[in-house]
Amino acid sequence: MCGVIGAIGQGPVIADIVDGLLFLQHRGQDAAGVATFDGTSFRLHKAMGLVREIFDRVDLTHHTGHIGIGHVRYPTIGGGAVDDAQPFMVNSPFGIAMSHNGNLTNFKSLKNELKDKCRRHVSSQCDVEVILNVFADELSRLTTGSNSPPDDPATIDAIFQAVTGTFRRCKGSYSVVAVIAGVGLLCFRDPFGIKPLIYGKRPDGKGTRWMVASESCALVSQNFKVERDVQPGEAILFRTGQPPLPRQVAPSKGHLCIFEFIYFARPDSEIDGISVYKARMRLGSTLARRWEEKDGAEVDAVIPVPDSSRPAAQQMAAKMKRPFREGLLKNRYIGRTFIMPGDANRKKGIRYKLSPVRLEIKGKRVLLVDDSIVRGNTSKAIIQMVRETGAREVHMASSCPALRHPCVYGVDMSTRKEFIARDRTDDEVRVAIGADSLLYQQLDDMVSACRPPNEEGERRFCMACMDGKYPTGDITQAVLDEIESERTVAGSGV
């Protein structure tokens, strides 16, 4: 799911970029990187690990550039390596550095096309290297033979045309930030808007500093005033000392990934005008209503599986008039197990991640509220842990409907075998994870909860992992089989 950030201002931006990455750390804990441009040279640094670990041990004083981008990586094909860490760069045309959040569904065919037809070599397994080379190829063709300087109107127009060409060739989901030497900071969001992207501004001496990020929390935390979300199919060019230059270069077909509200985004973020925190509270309200409608079991305490399920659990407890209790304590030094690379790492991480509070569990009938049930490893281990702590009964509620279909847009659940609910009924899932009862969120309830109350007009989400409907319209069974094969091989280390 990754996190991206970009900034441009009057002076060095490296501090804002690194600080912003700290606020996006929840989106990727595998690797991080930055690239800055000082008007003459690019400076690039990327490594494996957490943001604080990487940038505490290097000297960033040489990153004097007034424009730059950053990235935190969440790998979807095994553990990855530093070779796949972002940003990526090409020297021509102009010099471009780029980072993205998302996943190409035609990565392999595009990589072959770049090699065979464009004479461009892609050496990594990272999607953004393909996007970068496609964009550079489009821009090269549009500017070859031109004597226009990088900041000339003709060059600016070519940049936007190159984004249109990139949209035409790159299939899947991607929100992108890029530095173009001598021009400025470019961002764009694919026509389906599956991944979030937002920008804001802050006074910067006598001018304005602009920042683009995956989530609003990275802006607000650094006193940037949020302007708006980048629209699906839109590109925006930021230049020093000038207002942003937006252009809708492809029709908007917005289908924001609904899993942002279920799990990925920070609760203090707003995405496409929707408060993540309030959406999670509404998810809890609908779960409470369904619990009562199905005459759910009596419980003594409602306990969240920390952290993203906490707002839903609090609201569920309030609506059910049952005590809300912090019965599971999270080790703050362990990352999010869902986004750990590899199933073995996830299973190992669970044992260190949570500790039961015996006083709140022993002898009680408890209702555990989690954001989702994907592979079932976490749920099964937690339920067993709670039983061993002395619970009389252990019930489970999920803020998310049953997940049954591969995600091809950048969430690490791209093979069918990963889903515990794939070929099971709800009751069979209950038995498999060892719960006394199991309540899944209903699809319609989830959509209603994630829409702002009383919102007019149509609000569309990508829910392919739940309903099997892929909004890009190009996902056939052959595509699913190929992606699953690629992910299986990559994950095995073969």
Domain annotation for the chain: domains and CATH numbers: 3-254 (3.60.20.10), 275-459 (3.40.50.2020)
pLDDT at 78 over 50: no
Predicted pLDDT of residue 89:
97
pLDDT score at 493? 43
Average pLDDT rounded to a whole number, residues 19-37: 96
| Tens-place pLDDT, residues 48-57 | 999 999 998 7
pLDDT in tens, 267-293: 999 999 999 999 999 999 999 999 999
pLDDT at site 490:
56
Active site residues per annotation: 2
154-to-148, 179, 307, 376 alpha-carbon distances in Å: 7, 18, 49, 54
Q: What is the mean pLDDT of the chain?
A: 92
Retrieve residue 460's tokens: 């569309």
What percent of the chain has a predicted confidence (pLDDT) above 70? 93
Terminal Cα distance for the chain, rounded? 24
Q: How does pLDDT run across 96-128, given as a tens digit for each residue?
A: 999 999 999 999 999 999 998 888 999 898 999
Count the Cβ atoms, other than its own, within 10 Å of residue 119: 8
Specify whether the CB–CB gap between 237 and 183 falls below 8 A. yes
Q: Which helix (H) or strand (E) holds 294?
A: none
What does pTM read for this prediction? 0.92
Predicted confidence at residue 417, as pLDDT, reads 75
pLDDT at 77 over 50: yes
Q: Which of 115-129, 161-175, 226-240, 316-330 has the lowest mean pLDDT?
A: 115-129
Calculate mean pLDDT across residues 176-203. 97
| C-alpha to C-alpha distance for 208 and 225, rounded to whole angstroms | 11
CA angle 361, 362, 363 (to 5 degrees): 115
Which tokens belong to 189? Answer: 């969001």
Asked whether residue 161 carries a pLDDT value surpassing 80, the answer given is yes
Better-predicted residue by pLDDT, 58 or 158: 158
What pLDDT, on a 0 to 100 scale, did the predictor assign at position 346?
53
Reduced to 3 states, what is the DSSP secondary structure of residue 149?
Answer: coil
Q: In what order do the strands lie in the sheet with 88-90?
A: 88-90, 96-104, 172-180, 184-189, 234-238, 245-248
Confidence of residue 218 (pLDDT cuts 50, 70, 90): very high
